[in-house]
Amino acid sequence: MTGPKLDFPDQVPYDAYVHATTLHSLQQPLSKDPGEMSFLMISQVMELYFGLARFELGEVQRALRDDDVWGAVPPLRRTALHLEGLNAAWRSLRWMTPGDFNRFRSALGEASGFQSAMYRHLEFLLGLKSEPVIRPFHRLAEVHAELVEALHAPSVWDDVIALLARRGFEVSVDTDLTKEHEPDPGVEAAWVEIYRDDRPDSALHALGEALTDVAEQFGDWRYKHLVAVQRTMGAKPGSGGSAGATWLTRSMARVVFPELWSARTAM
């Protein structure tokens, strides 16, 4: 019985594939406080999850535009699971008290999670559109251009509504994709009708449940973010001039896939 291969002519294959050496070189704390490493690394983990969810939702959109409803369900289910992992990351910061955070907070300067471009991509894909949030990136030409493109592109919910229209449901298709979706009674009625058919082979019913899982997990992330801020900062202003917990509380009122939730009242 032979053991694992231990000698390689060039790079270690695992490192060449995962880029672990590069990943572990990206933690560069700005203070001498050991707690900052947790804050920095968990922030980086969350950024990776944002990017992964963005990738999966892109796969969802491709399937929806091809009228492949069953094909859209697996990446939606994966997205919900990725968001569960994202939510679990908050647990690694539950040790942090206001005193713990204050020991390195000043080193962050004006840096704020509000400035996460990948999070904005995720919000836009989920239909939470807002032009002002891309302004911090105007000096980063490539990043800004990608966000402008995402702002003008259909969200996942736009693609779902377009699919419903092609399937014969009387729904209104948004024409200004840069604005946040306004709930439509026709879309709500469509989901009420879809949910009447709860057979296992109903693709649209499965789509609705997979979308609901994504919306629920994203809502959980926003709530956990708010609690983490309240736990470490109370009602103090956030870094970079944001309103901190107050802004996060307002943002939670913006519902992802709104008619999927309102339709349940009529079911």
The DSSP line for 161-177 is HHHHHHTT---PPPS-T
Residue matched to tokens 């919910």: 157
Q: Report residue 6 as tokens.
A: 């231990």
Torsional sign, CA 121, 123, 124, 125: positive
- Going by C-alpha positions, the residue among 224, 229, 227, 222 that lies closest to residue 251 is 222
Q: 138 labelled as ligand-binding?
A: no
Q: How far apart are CA 126 and CA 135, in angstroms?
A: 19
- Going by C-alpha positions, the residue among 87, 78, 45 that lies closest to residue 60 is 78
Q: 105 labelled as ligand-binding?
A: yes
- Tell me which DSSP letter residue 155 carries: P
Binding residues: 105, 225
Binding residues for substrate: 105
Binding residues for heme: 225
